[in-house]
């Protein structure tokens, strides 16, 4: 069992930055690819970014590419999502998720591939 706890959400003005953190309670943290997803009421969960076990080949949705950066610190069991140039359409509940992956350099953009999920942290971007 892996417990994930997101933090760092809040309310900011458009153009501002936030850094989300995802802390994992597992000794095997480096065995998991980590994904970030977001959801707004009435909509399906949307892929935002993902990072492989090794930290290589981060993946981003088109809507955040160039503005968001995902990184990980395996020594701290933590993954970060740096969000710059925030827009009102980035407003959502942001979740991190863990996928026990056989490959060290691959991550998935599909929510169904992730076994463990956090409770989410809210991000509100005011215009």
Contacts of 49 (CB under 8 A, 6+ apart): 35, 36, 58, 59, 60, 61, 64, 68, 70, 81
Contact 78, 6 (CB under 8 A): no
Tens-digit pLDDT profile for residues 70-117: 999 999 999 999 999 999 999 999 999 999 987 888 999 999 999 999
Tens-digit pLDDT profile for residues 18-30: 999 999 998 899 9
């Amino acid at each position: 069992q892996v417990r994930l706890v997101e933090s760092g959400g809040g309310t900011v003005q458009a153009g501002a930055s936030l850094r989300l953190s995802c802390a994992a309670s597992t000794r095997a943290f480096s065995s998991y690819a980590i994904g970030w997803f977001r959801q707004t009421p009435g909509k399906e969960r949307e892929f935002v970014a993902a990072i492989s076990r090794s930290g290589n080949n981060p993946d981003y949705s088109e809507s955040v590419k160039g503005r968001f950066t995902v990184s990980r610190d395996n020594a701290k069991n933590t993954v970060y999502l740096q969000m710059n140039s925030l827009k009102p359409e980035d407003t959502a509940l942001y979740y991190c998720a863990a996928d026990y992956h056989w490959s060290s350099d691959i991550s998935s953009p599909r929510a169904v591939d992730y076994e463990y999920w956090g409770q989410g942290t809210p991000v509100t971007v005011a215009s």
